[in-house]
Amino acid sequence: MQAARGTSLSPDDSSLNDTQSVPSRTRVRALLLASFALLYALDQLTKWLAVDRLTGEPDHELVGELLVLRLTRNAGAAFSTGTGYTSLFSCLAIAAVLVVLWLSRRVASPGWAVALGLLLAGITGNLTDRVFRSPGVLRGHVVDFLMLPHWPIFNVADICINVAAALILVQAFRGIRLDGSRVEREAEEPADS
C-alpha cells in the first residue's frame, strides 16, 4: 500500500537497518563488558587466593606434574624479561588499555567483542598488580601461580591475553572487521594462456 504515488508506508531500508543495528551493537558491547568483568574478577580472585593460600607453602600438584601451583611474583614482562623496566611496562599497559577502550567503541562483531573483552581483562588484571602491589605504584610485581612443564609460571590474566590474541587472529583470517563487516576478497583472475 502506498500513501502517495511512489511513496511507501513502510520505513525505508536504511532507517530499518539503523534501528536494528542499535540493539545488536548494544548486545555486542554488553558481551564485551561481560567478558571483561567476568574474567577480570576471576583473575583477581585467583590471585588473591594464590597469595592467601600459597605464600610460604611448597608446590601443590593439581594434575600430577602437568599442572602445579607455585606462587611467584614477576617484576618483568612475559618470561620474566625486562625486570628492571617495571614502570615502563606499567605505562605500556595503560596505553594498551586506552587503545582497547578506543577500539571497543566501534565493535559490532561478537567475536571481536569477546576478544577485546579478554584482552582488556588480561591487560587490566596484570596492570592492577603493577599499580597496587609492592614494591610500589607502577612498580608492583605481578602474581603468577600456574606452572606447566617447561613453561614459565603464569596467571589467569596471561591466559586471557593469549586467548584474545588467538581470537583476534581468527577474526583477521576470517576477514571480519571490528564493525562485523567482512573484507571483500577479489576473486583470482585466471592467467592468460
Catalytic machinery residues: 144, 158
All cell numbers assigned to 145: 601461580
CA atoms of 192 and 10, how far apart (whole Å): 49
